[in-house]
Amino acid sequence: MKKIFFALSILFLFNSISYARDCKSGDIKGDAFIYSDGKKVKIIKGTDIPDPANKIIMIFNKGGWVVKKKWGECKDHVPKQLGQISGTKIKGKELVLMLNGRLHKAGGDDGYGCGWKFKGAFHQPWYDCILEKWGISKRANVNKEIIDELVSKGTPRNQIFMSGLSCGGIDTLRHKGLYPEDFNATISFMPNCWDRNPNTPLRKMQIDELKSFKRIDALVFHSPVDGEGDWHSNSVWMKKDLGNIPGVKWIDTPSHTDRKIFINGKDCKVKEKMKGGWEEVWPEGKEKLRSEKKFEVLDKKLQKEMKKSAAGHYLVSYSCFSYYHPEIIKFIESRI
């Protein structure tokens, strides 16, 4: 019987990959299941996949205040690197990464539209404009749409996980807190989703809401050298705010070694440099700012050093992060 089960498992996996097509060039548009060997990416477009009842689907949400309709080219690092978890067998079921191609439906403003409208930013009219168009709060309904579609095609809710990077990490944590029965759990990568203004109301709004939930079942990866411009957004600050929420399991990625980031002895060769992480203050006498560069830096020597150092925000997109893939698989296995 075990031999028969093993043979069937291999057959299901082969059938799934056989449906996938090489993704050589052009944009990934819409929903797509992703398979990767670390070099080449194969995709199955849409929400139909062979043997859906025996799939564990990990949906991935992009970051950004606004998400465009197309995902980007197949060589983009998230499909190429994180897609390597696809094909993993967990308790007789196949884990598959899926890109959420519907987030553009949530709308939003990237900050520039409201900035042009008021000829400046980071003041109350600008924030009111941002919040009027805020797309992050609408993403739960977009997530629900794709989850319900997958369930209708045969994948149990308990076998669906949400994940995301940056704003995508925030919106999937929020979704699990708001609607815990919609899917199994969240895997959140470097969650933060606000601006660099010290004491920005966008940070307080999101953190306060997350802290209000009784429980969020989630695995959270974060970096002490995140490097995004968002105020107080690295793991040191985020862990203080979110680390004690019941259900949250936290993993810190490494800090700098000679301005670089190494994971398990491997140089991640991160291209992005830090855009934030140092303390800034609002310039005296200003009601609004035309550029985020107008914030006054308290320690310019520290800023200069950090701007030469690798940013940890996009580590999930690099091959060195594969060291943590077993942690993702172990977390999912513990919940199936």
Predicted confidence (pLDDT) at residue 12 exceeds the cutoff of 90: no
CA distance 133 to 127: 10
Percent of the chain past pLDDT 90, that is, above it, reads 85
Contact (CB, 8 A) for 119 and 290: yes
Band of residue 4 on the pLDDT scale cut at 50, 70, 90: very low
**Tokens 């409201």, residue?**
114
pLDDT tens for each residue of 178-187: 999 999 999 9
Split at pLDDT 50, 70, 90, the class of 2 is very low
| Per-residue confidence (pLDDT) for residue 69, from 0 to 100 | 79
Q: How confident is the model at residue 48 (pLDDT cuts 50, 70, 90)?
A: very high
DSSP E strand stretches across 238-322? 248-252, 256-257, 260-263, 266-267, 280-281, 296-297
| C-beta separation of 159 from 51 below 8 A | no
| 221 DSSP 8-state letter | E
Dihedral in degrees, nearest 10, Cα atoms 153, 88, 319, 258: 120
Could you state, in order of their start, the residue ranges of all structural domains in the chain?
A: 2-335
- Report the CATH architecture of 2-335: 3-Layer(aba) Sandwich (3.40)
CA torsion sign for 286, 289, 291, 293 is positive
Q: Is 202 strand, coil or helix? A: helix
Q: Which two tokens mark 34?
A: 């992703």
Task: Say if residue 260's pLDDT is above 50.
Answer: yes
Mean pLDDT value across residues 280-296: 95
Whether 318 and 84 have beta carbons less than 8 Å apart is answered as no
pLDDT at 30: 87
Give the mean pLDDT of the chain: 91
Q: How far is CA 129 from CA 20, 49, 68, 112, 132, in A?
A: 43, 41, 20, 11, 5
In angstroms and rounded to an integer, the radius of gyration of the C-alpha atoms of the chain is 20
Alpha helices in 107-199 (DSSP H): 112-118, 124-133, 139-152, 167-178
**DSSP 8-state class, residue 199:** T
**Is pLDDT above 90 for 71?**
no
Inform me whether the pLDDT recorded for 74 exceeds 80.
Answer: no
